[in-house]
Structure 1
Amino acid sequence: MAARAARRANTPEAMAILERFFKLRENSTTVSTEVIGGITTFFVMAYIIALNPIILNYVGNTALQGKSLGPGFAPTVAMTALCAGVLTIAMGLYANRPFAMAAGLGLNAVVAYQLVLGTPPLPWQAAMGIILMEGIVITALVLTGLREAILNAIPMPLKQAIGVGIGLFILLIGLVNAGFVTRGTGTVVTLSPLNTGPILTFVIGLIITLALFARGVRAALLLGIIGTTIVAGLLHAVVSTYVPSTAPGTAVLPASWFEMPNLANAFSGLNFSAFATIGVLATLLAVFTIMLSDFFDTMGTVIGIGGQAGWLDNKGRLPGIRKILIVDSIGAAFGGLMGASSNTTYIESAAGVSSGARTGLASVVTGILFLAAMFIAPVVAVIPPEATAPALVIVGFLMAGIASKIDFTDLELGLPALLTIVIMPFTYSITNGIGAGFVTYVFIKLARGKVNEVHPLMWGVAIAFLLYFAQNVYAGLFGVGGYRE
């Protein structure tokens, strides 16, 4: 029966349906290219299925692990995969763009360490309720058109800088995930010793992936991930001291390939006790700061990947952006509702785009794999971070090329662009980079008496970012906690 279904899906009629619905020919792509892109994106971001539960349940934190502060590991695994699958498929079907969604890193840490462990502490269900409220607010902003209007008000060089900054951010994530770059003792970061199994795996994987990419192999990134995972498995079998660079990812075949998903946390975010526990002001402050981070993280991701794929028009606008933002905003609310934390558009989607993905068919493929991962989570956990790191390094290189279009000799745009680019990777935050660039741009225009050249919305955004950066100051004045990513 499965074989017959597969044959039917490959019939000319089925292919014609996919062509019409996803406009494959119009986007100069094919079904096979989209499938490869979708699989590549999934492999690059599958780590979130295990990493999100690790963060939300304090795994590895000996002082907190086992105190039942979080939503539970198994239920979080299931909800993480479920939310990512449903929302990524929705992105593909509704927006027809190859963007994948999953629980946002940074935002889940805010939930675990600043809301649940705040003063006073919140039950994790109440923290998810705050995420749900934030998602509802940001969805309302999209429906009113404000989010798209702000996007269109950004000067083109700053949009290009966002893409470059995200590229460097992706590249740094790859190097850190591989253990190639680590925290230094006398310096902020340093090069790790190159004699460990994970770093050797990364170097071999980078050589394999670069060779495939240089030869123009269409599935270079996907084949690189698979090949590097095999290398990691072989090294793990030979070197008894081999330990993957960072959790998750074991490089060892699991004892059991299947497990039934635990759906106990579904709808756990319908909890608004935060108003009574920490007060109305603190709750609203948390909603505002998390919303601002969510708001601009996605904006930066969409602009960066859109520029990489050549989708932006001559004013730096992305056609169909409204549909993308609607799904992304609903994702924030849905993630909170289901106890998985806010779901957002992933910068790792750039890996699929670099593999040729151009339509929502790739997202549907990625989403289906996430749903399947609910049942085969042990298999997904085999892929170590050093196996996906080479793909991230190459994607970062491709996105950084946009820097050639920026005039860095122009103080008014060059300096804000530079700050946008460097602060993203240096602070591990897209939002911080965007905020630094926007505030600097408005300030220089003001200092030069060119107030009329600044779009009114940019003034509002700059003020919002000043409040965002200074939140710990006024939060302390009012006796509430700060919640910046």
Structure 2
Amino acid sequence: MSTETRIPPTTAEPTTNGLDRFFKITERGSNVSREIRGGLVTFFTMAYIIVLNPIILSGVVDGSGTMIGGTTDLTQSKLLVAVGTAVVAGVMSILMGLVANFPIALAAGLGINGLITGMVITHSSDKITFADLMGLVVIEGVIILVLVLTGFRKAVFRAIPATLKVAISVGIGLFIAYIGVIDAGFARRPTTPGSVPSELGIGGSLDGWPTLVFVVGVFLIAVLLIKKVKGAILIGIVAATVLAMVLEAIFHLGPRVFDDKGALTNPDTWALTVPSLPSSITNTPDLGILGQFSLLGSFEKLGIITASLFVFSLLLADFFDTMGTVVAIGTEAKLLDEDGNPPHTDRILVVDSVAAIAGGAGGVSSNTSYIESASGVEEGARTGLASVVTGVLFLLATFLAPLFAVVPSEAAAPALVIVGFLMMTQLTNIDWNDMEVALPAFLTIVLMPFTYNITVGIGAGFIAWVLIKIAKGHAARIHPLLWIVTGFFVLYFVKTPLESLLAG
């Protein structure tokens, strides 16, 4: 990363001094331009959630006979979710910056939104609604907040062995790199039954202009980083977007289309966003989805056991995904202390807990800390000012949704791949000659991308760590909280048969 000659702030304006002192910008070796740049990069890297969250949540009719947002119109449902997603993400990212002064942004968490949609489909006969399940998200967020305020969540955070913290960071790096190549279509699920789980491009070869945009973006960002060009990642995203718009204008590729069986009929097209100039750059946001939740509806329709197990699943996902993300971002920003803990851990966790509540109350699914913030950190972000910038952009996106929606995933994905590579450089901090720590670290790292789930990787690492310690006769060295957490992970892995057993 490039370095700059710092000018003593002797002639700086009072406002600048106040901003610098509040966010500790100079103290952390940064400056305002870097923070703004980092906030911009983080936004463009994670802005896909404004498009993706409506795709995941909309289109499914719940027990009330309507789609999420209380409408029967798919376009209206998607618009409501998009605006709600941007509003909650904007408010919570700003809150993270102001309260915790940490360079991490928040938005609707992937995985939980899919879980909610799956629950609506699975329990359609119970007349379950999106509002009912959002109520469970609120309850889960309240429980998480209580665990933070009592100090339990922070204590667990500090009880994690240093090696596992490194492994979590590396695993997330590999995970987001994998997300990048999948989002760009560089790697795909084969259409032929019985073939390998994933393959290169289309039919085992690179084909299609969108994939070219991704490849150009990766190499451009890499070259700019090697040359220590400021704003390398942001420049790469913008340049790739411009290239995508030119290609779309020439070849009219259009969006992906799926047949009745869910099979992709035109694989050489854009994954989520068609990069074309919008007819209008502004729109009036509809906030109608905010407040659409029911606290007790799920308990009445699903029963206490099923609803409680769903809350437990949400709890574990939020609890440990955030821990892994915070460690990874703190490591990349060099903000961790000698024990691997970030500054103001309690504040970070409080804001993240409130974000879960806000996401449920906002009707858009639990909001959580985003690992894509690492792209902004790599661009120079070190303080909460970057999070504030990202949050403001999310709020602006509610008015300028057509403009921000121009960036295709193929243009943003290169940032994820490059950041994933940078995070994996921490592998050297793991003693691979010591099987007692190396095997749990290995499982933590590889299972995140293999299962497409951060929590699974962390859980496997915890369980392996405890089992190996027991096998070597070192059970006394295991932190008491690790016993408790590992027990919860065991329950997490067997929750489906446990739910069936209790229900039967």
TM-score when scaled to structure 2?
0.90
Q: Map 1:425-436; keep pairs closer than 5 Å.
A: 425-436=449-460
Q: Distance in 2 between matches of 1:115 and 1:465?
A: 25
Helix, strand or coil for the counterpart of 2:503?
A: coil
Partner SS for 2:126:
coil
Q: Is the 8 A contact 1:35 1:362 kept in 2?
A: yes
Report if aligned partners of 2:305, 2:503 keep a CA contact under 8 Å in 1. Answer: no
C-alpha offsets along residues 382-434 of structure 1, whole Å, 9 cap, x if unaligned?
10001011111110010001111101221211000000000001111110000
Verify: 1:196 aligned to 2:196, yes or no: no
Structure 1 alignment gaps of length 5 or more: 1-10, 481-485
Matching of residues 317-356 of structure 1 within 5 Å: 317-356=341-380
Partner of 1:220: 232
Q: What is the match of residue 36 of structure 2?
A: 35
2:128 is equivalent to residue 127 of structure 1: no
**For 1:347-366, what aligned pairs fall within 5 Å after superposition?**
347-366=371-390
Q: Decide whether the 8 Å contact of 2:139 with 2:295 is kept in 1.
A: no
C-alpha distance in 2, partners of 1:452/1:267?
48
The 3-state SS of whatever aligns with 2:396 is: helix
Residue 56 of structure 1 is matched in structure 2 by 57
User: 2:199 aligns to what SS in structure 1?
Assistant: strand
Greater mean deviation of Cα atoms: 20-29 or 307-316: 307-316
Q: How far, CA to CA, are the matches of 1:315 and 1:175 in structure 2?
A: 33
Structure-1 residue corresponding to 2:307: 283
One-letter amino acid of the counterpart of residue 22, structure 1: F
Q: How does 1:159-308 map to 2 (within 5 A)?
A: 159-184=165-190, 185=192, 186-192=195-201, 193-241=205-253, 243=255, 247-308=271-332
Aligned counterparts of 2:310 and 2:236: Cα–Cα separation in 1: 41
Q: Aligned to 1:478, what secondary structure does the other structure show?
A: helix
Is 1:102–2:107 an aligned residue pair? yes
Query: Secondary structure of 1:396's match?
Result: helix
Cα deviation, residue 69, structure 1: 3.1
Distance 1:369 1:273 in 2: 34
- Work out the percentage of aligned pairs sharing the same amino acid: 47
* 1:331 alignment partner AA: A
* Structure 2 CA distance for aligned equivalents of residues 240 and 362 of structure 1: 36
- Cα distance 1:297–1:246, how it changes in 2: closer, same or farther (>3 A)? farther
SS at match of 2:221: helix
TM-score normalised to structure 1 length: 0.93
Stretch of structure 1 that moved more, 149-158 or 107-116? 107-116
SS of corresponding position for 1:357? coil
CA-atom RMSD, angstroms?
Answer: 1.8
Asked if structure 1 preserves the Cα contact closer than 8 Å seen for 2:253 and 2:270, the reply is: no
Shift of 1:120: 2.9
- Cα distance change of structure 1 residues 246 and 444 upon mapping to structure 2, 3 Å threshold: farther
Tell me which of 142, 145, 164 is aligned to 1:139. 145
Which residue is equivalent to 1:8? none
1:470 paired to 2:475:
no
- Judge conservation of contact 1:116–1:123 (CA < 8 Å) in 2: no
1:451 equivalenced with 2:461 (yes/no): no
Q: Match for 1:69: what amino acid?
A: M
TM-aligned CA deviation for residue 271 of structure 1: 3.7
- Residue 45 (1) aligns with residue 46 (2): yes
Distance 2:319 2:94 in 1: 21
Q: Select the residue among 87, 111, 119 that pairs with 1:114.
A: 119
| Secondary structure, counterpart of 1:27 in structure 2 | coil
**Counterpart position of 2:163:** 157
What 5-or-longer segments of structure 2 have no aligned partner? 1-11, 70-76, 257-268
Shift of 1:70: 2.3
For 1:77, give the aligned amino acid.
Answer: A
Q: 1:297 to 1:12 in 2, by over 3 A?
A: same
1:415 counterpart residue number = 439
Within 2, Cα distance between the matches of 1:292 and 1:14? 42
Q: Cα 1:138–1:242, aligned 2, differ >3 Å: closer, same or farther? A: same
Deviates most, 188-197 or 382-391? 188-197
Matched AA of 1:231:
L
Q: Counterpart of 2:163 in structure 1: which amino acid?
A: P
When structure 1 is superposed on structure 2, of 312-321 and 135-144 the one drifting more is 312-321
